[in-house]
Structure formats: C-alpha cells, structure tokens
Amino acid sequence: MSDPAILPDEAHPQGEFRARHALLKRLADVVSLPASRINAFERAVVGDLLVEMLSLATTEDRKRVAQRLAPLSELPNALARMLLRDDPEIAGLLIENCASLSDADLAACARDTGREHRLLLADRRGISEVVTETIMSFGESDVIEAVLRNRTARLGQSAIEGVVSLSRHNVMLCEHLLRRPELRPSAAYVMFWWCGPGDRRTILQRFAVSREVMQEVSEDIFAIAADEGWQDPVSRKALQFIERRQRNRAAIERSPYGGLEQAIAAAAEIGLNREVAAEISYLSGVKPLTGAKILGDAGGEPLAILCKATGLTKGDLAALWRSMKRPEVTAKGEVSPAWERVQVTYDMLAVDRAQTVLRYWNWSLSSALTPALLRAIRDGDDEMQNEYSPSERAAMLALADNFGR
C-alpha cells in the first residue's frame, strides 16, 4: 500500500524500508518540537520509541537522527545515552554539537565507551572539571594531551595533580601542563625535577614568586615568636619559609669551615664528597636530603637556584660546579651548554624568588618525610600519602627515583 505523504527524498537510499526511514524522520521531528507543542512526558515516550527503532536501524539511519537531534536544547535521556554510546562518528555528532548534554551524560559516555569517544569528548567546548577528570582518569596520553590543549576545558586540582604524577614518566605532558591556568606553584616546583631545560625555564619565569607580601604582613610576628622562644612548631615552620635570611647561622657557628664560601672552596680543592655536601646543605639552610637532590641533579639548574638564594657569587657557583667535576667547556673549546644554562638560570632569578623555590623544595623534600611516607616511597604505595598535603605529594613524586622506584 503506497503512502502519498512519503516524498521521494525521504526514500531509503537502497530503496528498502521506506516506511522505517520516514517514521524515524517524523519521530525525530516530534522530539524536536518546542515545549509549547509537546510536554516532557510526551517527548520522553517518543524518545523511548526512537530508541527501540534505532537499536535495529542502520548506521546511516542512526546518523541522520543524530544530526537532526544534535541542535536540540532538550533531548530525551534514553535517546542521548544510546546515541552517545554509538559508533564514534555518530556519537561525535552529539558530543561536538549538542549543548544540552549534561555533565552526567558526558562523564557516563567517557566511562562506558572507549578511547575514540574520549578523544572526541576531550575536544568538546567548555567541558567541566567533573568531565575532564573522568576523561583523564584512564591515563591515555593522547586523550590527556587533547584535554590539556583544549583552552575552553576546565580542570580541577585533583586532575592536575594526577597529570603531574603521570608527567614523571611522560615528560611530553609537561609542556601542555605549563600552559594551563589551573597549574599552581606546588605542582610546578615538583615537576621541575623531571622537566627539560625549556620547561624548567618556564617554571622559573612563571612560578618563582616573591614572598614580599608575606614578609610585610608578618614582620612584627617574628618578634612575638622570638619572645615565645620559638616554641610553637606551627608558626616556626611557616616563619622559616617567609623570613628573608636563607643561611643557617647556627650551622655557620658550628662549621669547621667557618662559612658557606669556605666550604665550597674546600669542595673545589678536594672534590665534593658526602661530608662536604652535607655541610654545604646545613650552611645553606636546607636539609642534607634536599642538598643531595640539588647537587645530584643532572641538569644543574637547581645548583644555580641554591647559589642565588644563599647570596653566593657566580665565582662560588663556578667553584661548586668544578667540585662536582662538571665540564665548563666542550671538546671544541666552546662553553658547555649545561654550564651556560646554569649561569643563565643564576642571572635570571632575583634572590627572593630563588629562595621561594629553594624553601619549597626543602619543605616538601624533608619536612614532609614521615616514616610512613618514606615506606610508601620505597614500596611505591601512592595510596599511603596524605592526599591533602602538597608537601607530601611533592616528596612522593620528587624522591621516588631516589628510592629505587
């Protein structure tokens, strides 16, 4: 029986199932009607019928329906769920163009589908923190990079911290992370240890912040703490981070070398051994573990930060460089690229900003190292760290390689 209402352009491409094709189009049109023509319950019932039909329809039919429904401001939930889990070319029509999809719809799509769907979701405009965290939770590097490149995507701090952790083994993520406005100094300082030279420079330029405001508001509190005999460990630790003086006066008085410059001169003469390295650390106002991390860094930039923060000259920096048997020139007689980079790092930083970086490292690499955290680092147990402590997280990441992970 022929239906004169079915126009030629509504016919199935293969000339089959003209009724199915026409009905799918009409039902999609009904779902698209404004609220003044159809209420929410009616729309839901039509959507349920479409779901039943589409489950048996061809890919081309499903694609046509998805194209018709993508611009809608209200889409039946069952229909949205089905189409979002369809082939990427069909789901992508909604992911890219349907503004009415909720965070719950998008997060469920990320969880219930595969990598191709997550790549499409990563490029969607304006995805929220809930969605980006779900997308990135699978640890797929290309998906994570796509999210980081999406300038309209919003990232929560837990997602940022997760990517910082991944970047330790995938340094290509560092470049994208450093462009994110959500990245904070606590994460950038710990990333410094495994970043390349260019990214290290970016970190210092962007995140080596001054403590001038903190020093101004707490200036009178130093006298109060001194009157109390520095007995409060909470205020003492914070004031040690804020104060302008970097060198450890008590260590200087006890030192057999008489001062930091003399210890470095001795290291340049006899070579840098464990005892001298520990003494240099104490005199610099940092713990030996922090000093060992700085002195053992392959790139050398942390050495420049240590020297600038403690008021050492470039001559002292050169002496310390030589004590470590690091080359100043290449076989061709040119300045070693590493040594040149270290000198540039020294020149680019103000003392106060270098101190901020150095003190954060010392805070995170030593103060946070409880016995339980040390066991966690050795055992590779990320669950044992305090998820709310930036210093513990930094220590877990920065020192992992030093404990054989």
C-beta of residue 185 within 8 angstroms of C-beta of residue 210:
no
Q: How far apart are CA 405 and CA 396, in angstroms?
A: 11
CA distances to 95, 194, 270, 337 from 301, rounded to whole Å, are: 44, 12, 23, 12
pLDDT digits (tens, 9 = 90+) for 92-113: 999 999 998 999 999 999 999 9
Asked if residue 175 has pLDDT above 90, the reply is yes
Backbone angles phi, psi at 335, to 5 degrees: -65, 130
pLDDT at res. 57: 84
Q: How far apart are CA 121 and CA 74, in angstroms?
A: 19
At residue 23 the predicted structure's pLDDT band, cuts being 50, 70 and 90, is: confident
Q: How far apart are CA 110 and CA 131, in angstroms?
A: 8
Asked if residue 284 has pLDDT above 90, the reply is yes
C-beta of residue 172 within 8 angstroms of C-beta of residue 141:
yes
What is the overall mean pLDDT for the chain? 84
Asked if residue 1 has pLDDT above 50, the reply is no
Task: Give the distance between the most distant pair of CA atoms in the chain.
Answer: 107
At residue 75 the predicted structure's pLDDT band, cuts being 50, 70 and 90, is: confident
Least confident of 12-26, 63-77, 207-221: 12-26
pLDDT at res. 399: 52
CA distances to 159, 235, 377 from 389, rounded to whole Å, are: 15, 17, 15
Q: What share of the chain has pLDDT > 70, as a percent?
A: 86
Asked if residue 13 has pLDDT above 60, the reply is no
pLDDT at res. 400: 53
Asked if residue 290 has pLDDT above 50, the reply is yes
Residues 6+ apart with CB under 8 A from 197: 299, 301, 341
Q: How far apart are CA 361 and CA 395, in angstroms?
A: 9
SS3 of the chain: the string is CCCCCCCHHHCCCCCCCHHHHHHHHHHHHHHCCCCCCCCHHHHHHHHHHHHHHHCCCCHHHHHHHHHHHCCCCCCCHHHHHHHHCCCHHHHHHHHHHCCCCCHHHHHHHHHHCCHHHHHHHHCCCCCCHHHHHHHHCCCCHHHHHHHHHCCCCCCCHHHHHHHHHHHCCCCHHHHHHCCCCCCCHHHHHHHCCCCCHHHHHHHHHHHCCCCHHHHHHCCCHHHHHHHCCCCCHHHHHHHHHHCCCCCCHHHHHHCCCCCHHHHHHHHHHHCCCHHHHHHHHHHCCCCHHHHHHHHCCCCCHHHHHHHHHCCCCHHHHHHHHHHCCCCCECCCCCECHHHHHHHHHHHHCCHHHHHHHHHHHHHHHHHCCCHHHHHHHHHCCHHHCCCCCHHHHHHHHHCHHHHCC
pLDDT digits (tens, 9 = 90+) for 218-244: 999 999 999 999 999 899 888 988 999
Using N-to-C axis directions, what is the helix angle for 288-295 and 351-362, rounded to 10°? Answer: 120
